[in-house]
């Protein structure tokens, strides 16, 4: 009786390539959203490379597919605070760490980023701890997302405060695919920079690249972006706010934060660029455009407070010990709510808007286990603004209960954790 044996190497090359692609290039994408700009939460795609150890022929063929399909890109931040450049849009990272990333020689491109100027006011302790050299490895398919982040990151324009060197490599040199990265493929690799980068005054393309292509990309990237119509810009900000409101009301806090956050940062960057003066002039001296910008800035900031408060509450429901670390994410947009004068000195909050903010920050201090005096001060201010408001009176009762628990725990030497399992009550969004 004869038996049939399966021999992998006898399969057609096309079938073997499909198998290599499935094993080495199929990633389980788990997307996480950053709720706090100081937290580094990356999506790490996982794949099994053990097939590369099968034999020399399989290793050579499979590694070739591995590199061509994934097109790995090495990103090196020198003396930077990476978290703020990857917020609020989350960029999937394959690997991180200098030793791991530098040991891998299969990347087709490197992007070196170095800060050229720093804030005059310096950094606080938390920010200083984040300044470092960061080594990341990503796939080219996520590079566009990454470039969009860099082009729209930070408060001060990143394109004016950083230097960029993009280098194309040829990991296929010495193989049967030595000419794989031809001029067309090189242009494909550089496409995200042409799409998203403008006004980057210190930018260069070097390495295994056609000189004319490198010069054309560099020239495009250095060109200043066109000034957007001021009224179109303001309408876009309102549309983003409404979209974020829909996400929030549907229970998708992460997408709400992301949508509001991108609009918020667009306004912050506008205030630091020459485009602000150009757009104001284009809107005209008699226009109420600057008042509208200040108003939408407040509304976005206020909604981000509401979003961050929901995160604090959800974390507390999982484990009350996790809540305190999120209170800062409520305080930051709360602080920006009082900076609308950057855009228009005459803009003022309504009593209801100020009450809502005081109420939310009081809730955050209570749920996060801050000293009781912080929550009491904020809720009393809210009560002064809106006496006998049912929502405020309920929160005052909860804070009183929190104070009672705190005093009992202080007397017994215990940590005053309270049960925050009840539903969070809040005012409507802006």
pLDDT in the model for residue 296: 95
Return the pLDDT at 149: 76
Q: Tokens for 410, please give them.
A: 């202080």
Average pLDDT score over the chain: 81
Could you tell me how many residues make up the chain? 430
Q: Residue 19 class from Cβ within 10 Å (0-12 exposed, 13-18 middle, 19+ buried)?
A: middle
Contact 88, 154 (CB under 8 A): no
Q: Is it the case that residue 37 has pLDDT exceeding 50?
A: no
Report the range out of 56-60, 152-156, 160-164, 385-389 with the highest average pLDDT. 385-389
Tens of pLDDT, residue by residue over 135-172, are: 888 889 889 888 887 776 655 666 677 899 999 999 98
Q: Does position 126 have pLDDT exceeding 70, yes or no?
A: no
Domains of the chain: 8-222 (no CATH), 230-412 (1.25.40.10)
Per residue in 194-228, pLDDT (tens digit) is 998 888 889 999 999 999 999 999 999 998 878 88
- Residue pLDDT, tens place only, 320-329: 666 666 777 7
> Which H, E and C letters describe the chain, residue by residue?
CCCCCCCHHHCCHHHHHHHHHHHHHCCCCCCCCCCCCCCCCCCCCCCCCHHHHCCHHHHHHHHHHHHHHHCEEEEEEEEECHHHHCCCCCCCCCEECHHHHHHCCCCCEEEEEEECCCCCCCCCHHHHHHCEEEEEEEEHHHHHHHHHHHHCCCCCCHHHCEEEEEEECCCCCCCCCCCCCCHHHHHHHHHHHHHHCCCCCCEEEEECCCHHHHHHHHHHHHCCCCCCCHHHHHHHHHHHHHHHHHHHHCCCHHHHHHHHHHHHHHHHHHHCCCHHHHHHHHHCCCCCHHHHHHHHHHHHHHHHHHHHHHHHHHHHHHCHHHHHHHHHHHHHHHHHCCCHHHCCCCCCCCHHHHHHHHHHHHHHHHHCCCCHHHHHHHHHHHHHHCCCCHHHHHHHHHHHHHHHHHHHHHHHCCCCCCCCCCCCCCCCCC
The answer, yes or no, to whether residue 130 has pLDDT greater than 60, is no
Q: Report whether pLDDT(89) > 70.
A: no
Give the residue-averaged pLDDT of 381-396.
90
Asked if pLDDT for residue 357 goes beyond 50, the answer is yes
- Are 205 and 214 in contact by the 8 Å Cβ rule? The answer is yes
- Give the CA angle between residues 149, 144, 333 to the nearest 5°: 20
Q: Report pTM.
A: 0.65
Question: What does residue 204 show for φ and ψ, rounded to 5 degrees?
Answer: -145, 155
pLDDT tier at 122 (50, 70, 90 boundaries)? very low
Contact 244, 256 (CB under 8 A): yes
Least confident range of 91-100, 148-157, 412-421: 412-421
Q: What is the mean pLDDT of residues 342-364?
A: 90
Quote the percentage of the chain above a pLDDT of 90: 29
How high is the pLDDT of residue 402? 78
- Residue (of 82, 79, 74, 78) closest to 101 by Cα position: 74
What is the reported pLDDT for 123? 43
| pLDDT in the model for residue 375 | 86
Residues 240-275: tens digit of each pLDDT = 999 999 999 999 988 898 899 889 888 887 877 777
Q: Higher pLDDT residue, 79 or 284? A: 284
């Amino acid at each position: 009786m004869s038996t049939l044996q399966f021999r992998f190497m006898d399969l057609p090359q096309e079938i073997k390539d499909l198998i290599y692609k499935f094993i080495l290039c199929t990633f389980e994408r788990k997307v996480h959203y950053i709720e706090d700009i100081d937290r580094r939460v990356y999506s790490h795609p996982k794949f099994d490379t053990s097939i590369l150890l099968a034999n020399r022929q399989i290793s050579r063929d499979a590694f070739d597919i591995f590199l061509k399909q994934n097109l790995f890109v090495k990103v090196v931040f020198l003396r930077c605070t990476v978290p703020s450049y990857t917020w609020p849009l989350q960029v999937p990272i394959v690997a991180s760490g200098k030793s791991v990333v530098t040991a891998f020689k299969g990347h087709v491109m490197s992007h070196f980023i170095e800060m050229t100027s720093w804030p005059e006011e310096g950094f606080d302790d938390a920010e200083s701890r984040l300044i470092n050299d960061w080594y990341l490895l990503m796939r080219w398919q996520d590079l566009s997302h990454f470039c969009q982040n860099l082009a729209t990151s930070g408060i001060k324009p990143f394109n004016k405060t950083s230097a960029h060197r993009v280098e194309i490599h040829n990991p296929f040199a010495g193989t049967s695919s030595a000419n794989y990265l031809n001029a067309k493929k090189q242009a494909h690799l550089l496409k995200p920079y042409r799409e998203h980068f403008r006004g980057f005054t210190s930018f260069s393309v070097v390495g295994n690249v056609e000189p004319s292509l490198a010069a054309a990309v560099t020239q495009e990237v250095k060109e200043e972006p066109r000034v957007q119509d001021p009224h179109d810009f303001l309408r876009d900000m309102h549309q983003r706010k409404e979209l974020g409101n829909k996400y929030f009301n549907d229970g998708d806090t992460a997408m709400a934060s992301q949508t509001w956050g991108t609009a918020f940062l667009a306004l912050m960057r506008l205030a630091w660029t020459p485009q602000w003066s150009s757009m104001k002039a284009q809107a005209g001296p008699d226009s109420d455009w600057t008042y509208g910008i200040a108003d939408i800035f407040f509304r976005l900031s206020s909604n981000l407070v509401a979003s961050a408060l929901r995160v604090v509450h959800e974390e507390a429901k999982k484990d009350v010990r996790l809540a305190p670390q999120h209170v800062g994410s409520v305080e930051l947009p709360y602080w920006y709510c009082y900076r609308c004068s950057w855009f228009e000195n005459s803009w003022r909050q309504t009593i209801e808007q100020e009450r809502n903010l005081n109420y939310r920050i009081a809730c955050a201090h209570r749920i996060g286990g801050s000293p009781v005096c912080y929550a009491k001060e904020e809720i009393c201010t809210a009560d002064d603004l809106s006496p006998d408001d049912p929502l405020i009176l309920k929160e005052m009762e909860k804070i009183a209960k929190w104070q009672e628990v705190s005093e009992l725990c202080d007397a017994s030497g215990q940590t005053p954790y309270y049960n925050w399992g009840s539903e969070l009550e809040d005012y409507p969004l802006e």
